[in-house]
Structure 1
Amino acid sequence: MPKRLRLTRRFPAAMSNDAYRTLSRFADEAEITTDEALTFLFEHFGSVTHKDNLTHRLRLFKAELEDRKA
């Protein structure tokens, strides 16, 4: 029997406009809500990311972070 989807944890989250548009587009294409899309991505994080690509992209993001905050 599949686990029941209960969205019991809430947290304030801020994201860039680009990130929100990407999340919304993903949710729309999958025909689910943005809450369900985030739940899916985090529950399946290991299988939807490529470890080497993730490490590289995170390094680039962190290098640009200060400039993006300005």
Structure 2
Amino acid sequence: MPKRLKLTRRFPVAMTNDAYRRLNRFAQEAEISPDEALTFFFEHFNSIMNEDNLNHRLNLFKAELAARKA
């Protein structure tokens, strides 16, 4: 029997406009809410992410953080 989707945890999230638009676009294309999209990403993180690509992109993002904050 499938587990019922019960969104019981809430947390404030700050993100860039680009990230917010991309999340909403993904949710709309998948015909789910943005909350459900985030839940999907985190519950299935290991199966949808390529570890090599993730590490590479994370390192690039970290290198750009200083410039983004300035």
TM-score by structure 2 length? 0.98
Q: State how far apart, in whole Å, the 1-side matches of 2:34 and 2:21 are.
A: 10
Q: State how far apart, in whole Å, the 2-side matches of 1:48 and 1:20 are.
A: 19
Q: Percentage identity across aligned positions?
A: 74
Give, in angstroms, the shift of residue 12 of structure 1: 0.5
In the other structure, the counterpart of 1:35 is: 35
In the other structure, the counterpart of 2:45 is: 45
In the other structure, the counterpart of 1:7 is: 7
TM-score by structure 1 length? 0.98
Structure 1 runs of 4+ aligned residues shifted over 3 Å read: none
1:22 is the counterpart of 2:22? yes
Return the letter of the residue paired with 2:13: A
Q: State how far apart, in whole Å, the 1-side matches of 2:18 and 2:33 are.
A: 17
In the other structure, the counterpart of 1:64 is: 64
Give, in angstroms, the shift of residue 26 of structure 1: 0.3
Q: State how far apart, in whole Å, the 1-side matches of 2:68 and 2:38 are.
A: 23
Give, in angstroms, the shift of residue 65 of structure 1: 0.2
Paired residues in the alignment total 70
